[in-house]
Structures are given as structure tokens and as C-alpha cells.
């Protein structure tokens, strides 16, 4: 017979089976045992899961936070007892949790509430058993035979990803556990809200829990399909909803809030109460309905939808067809040009930017407050295909306002800027002259809008093209450029700082 010492070996897959099977029937029993000493009575804990839900509403802000309103029909004991409220978001904000009875609110009181998030995993489970005996499984090799052996082992340490065991008179590392006798009471299989309740009302009650959770966000995405003639376009708006909150929401009433919400705790709690009341409105057609809410806009999906954890989904927000659009080219200066000499006589290339603009009004087929988001522009080519032309972001845009979408820089229209003169007339008075040359290599004529932002008190002393005062700090020019031609804008401005 061989004199080799027995070796402890186990495969990962077999170990997982050994660990999980004995635990399945112990979870609920261990939860109750672990928390019993913390309660004011010896009564068994009541547990409610998502199976008890009768109503679920989710309001998502575009600031990575959401309000959840979860209504359940449950059976309650009389007197003081603990209630485990399972299937809540892992990213819950505990300070925002609110619980109440909808059936008999005056007779169901909350004595204490806790959010339990020390979740069960193999590593934590082992750590709870340091200094205790467990049954381990290993192979024992003797001669030409190998057999599986289960025996008691004392867990001496569990750290740095390894375990140290004492089996008889031997010290062994990394033996695998066959089973755990019970589950420590301060470990939970999922995030759980625990209330100590005092019930003096009915046994069967409808209760509501509402809370804010992080890691849930939404944004708006738009597709602008511009026609071949660049005169009309179709606009499709989509809501992109991302849920990483650690919970799924089945058949939920979905609402979205667009606006810059100030994130103070007091304001959010007040908004939560206001939104809870607004969620009671009945559903109608399967589309988003928009309404004003405080200084924000609230979009309500008029049907239920399911939002899975770690999911990104899109829901249609709006559709507009045959929207009048205008394509234009623009050259934009900078305010610092008018403070110092800018290399007099040197030609500096400048991009000629390409924009589409349209008005968000009912006449254009829109007229709905548009949430901030990304607009991706596509355009038809000569063979009927649709090609990507560029993208831009828009801010929250009320109805009847104009949107300006920057899609890129012109390829066949180029611009050069020269500072021709710079004079200091007094300690705070200056004159400067600019020359802007535009060359057009396209198959047809174009018009380029030149926007010159000038600070201080200014006046145009001379210009070879008509100018317009667009606002207190901007001079506007419209410069036509013929096919295969060039145009030069010369203007002189006097500025007082």
C-alpha cells in the first residue's frame, strides 16, 4: 500500500452543487431566525415578494434617479411583528423610503424600518463560519483507488481568496464545503426592506412602498431624415431607458420627467409625494402623453411596460412628417478676436459649418416640448439610399422654439480670415478691420451666414456687404457666393471697452 498522504481535491462544478442544494430550503427559515432577536415580539416574520404586486409605477428622471411606487396585497399579523419586503432595487436610497397602508392607514403603524443589503454570496458565507466546523468533501487516494470522502473540518481562516482547515491532525488549504448547517441571520439572498409594524387593523391589507433609486436613467434620441431636396424632413423621437438599479419592474406604469432637477434631499422627497399622487391618473392610448409638472415636463406612457434589470430599451416618443427644414452654412467668429492683434495680414482657415434648422411648432407637425437628447441626421442620396450625415445634441426645447442642428463642416466651401488692421485710438477705444474670403466649389451658388461676436460698445465703421445687428454682441452678414466663385467680406469695426 502506498505511503502517500491523502489529497483533498474537488471540482468547481461539483462544489457549487454541494453548496447550493442544501441552502435552497433554508433561506426563509434562517432569515426569521437571524432577525428574531431584534424584534419586539416572538412572532414569525411576514414576507412579501413581487408576486403580491397589484400596482407598480416607475418615474424616471434624466438625472440617473427614479421613483418607484410598489403596491401589494398582503396578509398581516396582529400586534407588533417584522415584515420583509423583498424584490426592491439594490440601488435604493434608504432615506427616501415611505411605507403606508392603503386599506387601513390609521391602524397600521411603522415602528422601525431597515434596509438590508448584506447579500449572500459564497465568500461572505464562509467568513461567517470561521471558527466553526463544517462538512467538507475531498478525494482520498490510496493505492490504485480513489474515493470521495466527506468529513468534519474546522475552518481556521478565510481571507485573500483562500481557506485554511483543520481535518483531524492535518492543516489543509482550500478544501471545498459540502454543506452549511444553516444560514446566518444577517445575510440576505436579495436586497430587502424590513419594517417592524404595529397592526391593529385588518389581516388582509393593500400596502404601498415608495422610494427613490439610483442607477436608472433615460435620454431622448431623435432621427432626422432629410429629403433629397433638403426642404423637408421626418423626425422620429425615441426614449432610451437604461435600468441598472438592481431590480426588474414588470408591467409597470412608466413616467419620465424632463428638466434640470435640483438634487437636494428635501426637494426630492417633496417631489416624490407629488408624483405619487399624479401616478393615479388612468391610462389611455398606447403613447406618451405630455403635461407640465412644476417647472419640468412629465411624459406618461399610456400602457404598461416591463423594464428588466441591466436592460436598455427604446420606446417611441413622437413622429413628425414633412417638417419644413432649412439648410444653411455659417462661419462663426470669436470674441477674443477684438481684444488683441491677431496676426495682421495672415490668412487663417476657418471651418464653414453646416446646419439644419426647423421650428418646433404644430404647423411643422411637432409642437411638443422636446426633451434634451441626441439628434442623428440622415439624408437621401441620388439612388434612393439613406446615408448618415452627422449628429448633434439639443437641450430641453419648449414648443414654438427653433432647433439648430450642427451636422459637420462643408467640404466644397472654404473660408479664410485675415485681420487687415488694428489701431488703438485711446486707452479704451480700438478700431480693427477684417477680411473674410469665401470660395465655393459646389455645383451651384450658396449663401454663407457670417456671425461676428463683438464685445463692449461697438459700431460698424465700414462694410462692403449689408450688416445686421443680431443682438447686443453679434454682427450678422449674409454673403452670396457663385458656383465656382469667390466672395470677400471687408468690414471695419470700432470697439470701446
Would residue 477 count as lying in a domain? yes
pLDDT of residue 147: 75
The burial class, CB within 10 Å (0-12 / 13-18 / 19+), for 211 is buried
Give the total number of structural domains in the chain.
1
* pLDDT at site 272: 45
- Strand pairing partners for 359? 402
Q: Which residue has the higher pLDDT, 244 or 270?
A: 244
Judge whether 338 lies within some domain: yes
- What is the model's pLDDT at position 120? 54
pLDDT mean across residues, the chain: 82
Determine, yes or no, domain membership for 140.
Answer: no
Taking the C-alpha atoms of residue 225 and residue 386, their distance in angstroms, rounded to an integer, is 8
198 in any annotated domain: no
191 Cβ contact list (under 8 Å, min separation 6): 86, 88, 89, 90, 92, 115, 116, 117, 119, 246, 247
Query: Using an 8 Å Cβ cutoff, are 134 and 221 in contact?
Result: no
**What is residue 16's predicted lDDT score, i.e. its pLDDT?**
39
Please give the average per-residue pLDDT across 384-413, as a whole number: 94
How confident is the model at residue 339, as a pLDDT? 77
Tally the C-alpha atoms within 13 A of residue 113's C-alpha that lie toward its C-beta. 14
Inside any domain, residue 199: no
- Structural domain contains residue 258: no
> What are the percentages of helix, strand and coil residues in the chain, rounded to 5?
10, 55, 30
Task: Residue 452: give the domain boundaries.
Answer: 324-496
CB distance 325 to 356 below 8 Å: yes
The CA-CA-CA angle for residues 293, 294, 299, to 5°, reads 20
Q: Give the pLDDT band (50/70/90) at residue 27.
A: very low
Model confidence pLDDT, tens digit, residues 208-253: 999 999 999 999 999 999 999 999 999 999 999 999 998 999 999 9
In a domain, 406, yes or no: yes
Length of the chain: 497
Stronger pLDDT, 262 or 104, i.e. the higher one? 104
Domain assignment of residue 309, yes or no? no
**Residue 194: which of 100, 93, 113, 78 has the closest Cα?**
113
Q: What is the pTM of this model?
A: 0.67
Amino acid at each position: 500500500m502506498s505511503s502517500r498522504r491523502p489529497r483533498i481535491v474537488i471540482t468547481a462544478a461539483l462544489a457549487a452543487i454541494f453548496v447550493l442544494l442544501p441552502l435552497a430550503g433554508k433561506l426563509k427559515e434562517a432569515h426569521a431566525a437571524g432577525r428574531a432577536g431584534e424584534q419586539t415580539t416572538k412572532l414569525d416574520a411576514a414576507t412579501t415578494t413581487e408576486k403580491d404586486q397589484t400596482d407598480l409605477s416607475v418615474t424616471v428622471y434624466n438625472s440617473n434617479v427614479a421613483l418607484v411606487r410598489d403596491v401589494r396585497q398582503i396578509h398581516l399579523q396582529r400586534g407588533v411583528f417584522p415584515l420583509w419586503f423583498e424584490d426592491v432595487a439594490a440601488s435604493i436610497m434608504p432615506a427616501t423610503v415611505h411605507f403606508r397602508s392603503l386599506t387601513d392607514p390609521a391602524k397600521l403603524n411603522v415602528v422601525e424600518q431597515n434596509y438590508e443589503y448584506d447579500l449572500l454570496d459564497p465568500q461572505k458565507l464562509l467568513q461567517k463560519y470561521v471558527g466553526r466546523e463544517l462538512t467538507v468533501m475531498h478525494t482520498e487516494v490510496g493505492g490504485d483507488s480513489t474515493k470521495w470522502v466527506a468529513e468534519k473540518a474546522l475552518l481556521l481562516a478565510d481571507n485573500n481568496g483562500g481557506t485554511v482547515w483543520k481535518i483531524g491532525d492535518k492543516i489543509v488549504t482550500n478544501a471545498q464545503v459540502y454543506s452549511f448547517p444553516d444560514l446566518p441571520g444577517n445575510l440576505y439572498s436579495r436586497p430587502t426592506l424590513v419594517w417592524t409594524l404595529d397592526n391593529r387593523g385588518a389581516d388582509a391589507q393593500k400596502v404601498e412602498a415608495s422610494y427613490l433609486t439610483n442607477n436608472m436613467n433615460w435620454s431622448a434620441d431623435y432621427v432626422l431624415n432629410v429629403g433629397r431636396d433638403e426642404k423637408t424632413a421626418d423626425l422620429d423621437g425615441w426614449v432610451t431607458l437604461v435600468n441598472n438599479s438592481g431590480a426588474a419592474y414588470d408591467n409597470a406604469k412608466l413616467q419620465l420627467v424632463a428638466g434640470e432637477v435640483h438634487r437636494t434631499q428635501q426637494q426630492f422627497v417633496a417631489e416624490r409625494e407629488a408624483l405619487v399622487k399624479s401616478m393615479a391618473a388612468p391610462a389611455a392610448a398606447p403613447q406618451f402623453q405630455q403635461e407640465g409638472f412644476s417647472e419640468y415636463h412629465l411624459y406618461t406612457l399610456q400602457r404598461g411596460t416591463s423594464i428588466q434589470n441591466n436592460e436598455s430599451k427604446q420606446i417611441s416618443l413622437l413622429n413628425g412628417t414633412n417638417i419644413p427644414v432649412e439648410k444653411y452654412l455659417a462661419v462663426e467668429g470669436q470674441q477674443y478676436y477684438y481684444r488683441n492683434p491677431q496676426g495682421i495680414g495672415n490668412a487663417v482657415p476657418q471651418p464653414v459649418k453646416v446646419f439644419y434648422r426647423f421650428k418646433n411648432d404644430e404647423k411643422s407637425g411637432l409642437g411638443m416640448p422636446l426633451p434634451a437628447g441626441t439628434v442623428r441626421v440622415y439624408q437621401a442620396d441620388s439612388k434612393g439610399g439613406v446615408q448618415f450625415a452627422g449628429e448633434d445634441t439639443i437641450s430641453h426645447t419648449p414648443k414654438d422654439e427653433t432647433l439648430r442642428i450642427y451636422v459637420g463642416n462643408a467640404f466644397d466651401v472654404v473660408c479664410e480670415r485675415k485681420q487687415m488692421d488694428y489701431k488703438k485710438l485711446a486707452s479704451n477705444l480700438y478700431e480693427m478691420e477684417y477680411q473674410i474670403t469665401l470660395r465655393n466649389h459646389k455645383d451651384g451658388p450658396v449663401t454663407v451666414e457670417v456671425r461676428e461676436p463683438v464685445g463692449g460698445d461697438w459700431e460698424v465703421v465700414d462694410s462692403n456687404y449689408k450688416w445686421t445687428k443680431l443682438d447686443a454682441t453679434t454682427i450678422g452678414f449674409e454673403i452670396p457666393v457663385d458656383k465656382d466663385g469667390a466672395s470677400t467680406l471687408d468690414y471695419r469695426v470700432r470697439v470701446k471697452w
